[in-house]
Amino acid sequence: MSATLELAKQLIARRSLTPDDAGCQELLIERLEKLGFKVERMRFGNVDNFWARRGNVGPLVVFAGHTDVVPTGPESQWVSPPFEPTIRDGMLYGRGAADMKTSIAAFVVALEELPTKLPGSIGLLITSDEEGVAVDGTVKVVEALQARGELIDYCIVGEPTSNLKVGDMIKNGRRGSLSGTLKVKGIQGHIAYPHLVKNPIHMAAPAIAELAKTVWDHGNEYFPPTSWQISNINGGTGATNVVPGEVDILFNFRFSTASTEQSLKDKVHAILDKHHVEYELHWELSGKPYLTPKGNLSEAISAAIQQAYGVTPELSTSGGTSDGRFIADICPQVIEFGPLNATIHKLNECVGVADIDPLKETYKLTLQKLLK
Ligand SMILES: [Zn+2]
């Protein structure tokens, strides 16, 4: 059996629901130490992370990934149990098969197949808190590396980025995510005495209409235009004869690098003020955007994918946030590439068995292209 498939199965068999790593990292550490990696276990809060490095000259190429997985949903609705890796009709099933235990296995086996003496250095940054709140995971390891001046030249994140065929898409950035909690204030009262009330829903409506039709930016070469969406509106007492005193609105921006956190905030405040809305607004930046323009790393991975899968990847910044946003603080080139994302976070998550060895080959070829 393929060594990558074997290791992927061993990882899937460990029930590593965020933030519990369930022994995945020790399994990897044992194999990496045999290859001459110096491993630092970095536990923050209740999260296991590790940083492994071999070599102390540049360039430093790092693989980043997470051993944690999302909850299974009703296990009885899985065709085979989520933590019993099972091959059926050419697919390997199990929670984490695509997101992202197979990628981790592929990278480790690629290292096992490469000579231990390569020019430059190789690192691995592995966390068990990517799927959760992500406060004690990659961000903390990056802070520790940054504090001692350890910078990364190239980082490959093994997230499942492929869309219809493995290799058709790599991610060279992600949009930012900015949320707002808006409370519009009015004056509560009897609906039959409108001169004694101030209806916050009526006050908010024209501002909402304008926010909804605002073009925030046009995106750029790498990003689609910024989008603004309301996720919740709550107001009213439940009674039909009471005008409520306030209305609560939650909204979120997914923003491109054509806008900034500040430019978006300023525009929202300007629109609310223009409509004379009385309000309180709290902001939360849940992810900064990051962008890796075309360069050595995107070229090396694209050429490796072409060789291993016979597919030419498209660069994309679509999808949710990823740990790439943290790594970008200490690394100028971060690219994400991994299996198909069609089944991630779903029941019966799977990867194609035939796609597993080419993934290992892709990581291996990429390392060979960058470290020569
Ligand atoms: Zn993931």
Q: Catalytic pick from 21, 48, 99, 130?
A: 130
What distances in angstroms separate CA 352 from CA 5, 92, 212, one per listed residue?
Answer: 10, 6, 41
How far does the centroid of ligand 1 lie from the alpha carbon of residue 134, in Å?
12
What distances in angstroms separate CA 194 from CA 93, 188, 238, one per listed residue?
Answer: 61, 10, 18
Angle CA 65–68–74, to nearest 5? 140
How far does the centroid of ligand 1 lie from the alpha carbon of residue 270, in Å?
37
CA nearest neighbour of 362 among 334, 335, 338: 338
User: What CA–CA distance (Å, rounded) separates 24 from 102?
Assistant: 12
Residue 242 burial class via C-beta count within 10 angstroms: exposed 0-12, middle 13-18, buried 19 and up: middle
E-assigned strand segments in 172-322: 173-174, 176-185, 189-190, 227-235, 242-243, 246-255, 279-287, 290-291, 314-316
323 is catalytic: no
Residue 17, pLDDT score? 98
Residue 319, pLDDT score? 87
Q: Catalytic pick from 68, 131, 153, 217?
A: 68
- Please answer whether residues 159 and 66 qualify as being in contact, where contact means their C-beta atoms are separated by less than 8 angstroms: no
User: What CA–CA distance (Å, rounded) separates 247 from 10?
Assistant: 51
Residue 66, pLDDT score? 98
How far does the centroid of ligand 1 lie from the alpha carbon of residue 100, in Å?
5
- From the CB of residue 214, how many other CB atoms can be counted at a distance below 10 Å? 13
Question: SS3 helix, strand, coil % of the chain, rounded to 5?
Answer: 30, 25, 40
Beta strands 49-54 and 121-127: pairing type? antiparallel
How far does the centroid of ligand 1 lie from the alpha carbon of residue 362, in Å?
18
User: What CA–CA distance (Å, rounded) separates 112 from 114?
Assistant: 6
299 is catalytic: no
pLDDT tens track, the chain, 372 positions: 899 999 999 999 999 999 999 999 999 999 999 999 999 999 999 999 999 999 999 999 999 999 999 999 999 999 999 999 999 999 999 999 999 999 999 999 999 999 999 999 999 999 999 998 889 999 999 999 999 999 999 999 999 999 999 999 999 999 999 999 999 999 999 999 999 999 999 999 999 999 999 999 999 999 999 999 999 999 999 999 999 999 999 999 999 999 999 999 999 999 999 999 999 999 999 888 999 999 999 999 999 999 999 999 999 998 888 999 999 999 999 999 999 999 999 999 999 999 999 999 999 999 999 998
How far does the centroid of ligand 1 lie from the alpha carbon of residue 161, in Å?
9
Residue range 287-334, pLDDT digits in tens: 889 999 999 999 999 999 999 999 999 999 988 889 999 999 999 999
How far does the centroid of ligand 1 lie from the alpha carbon of residue 160, in Å?
7
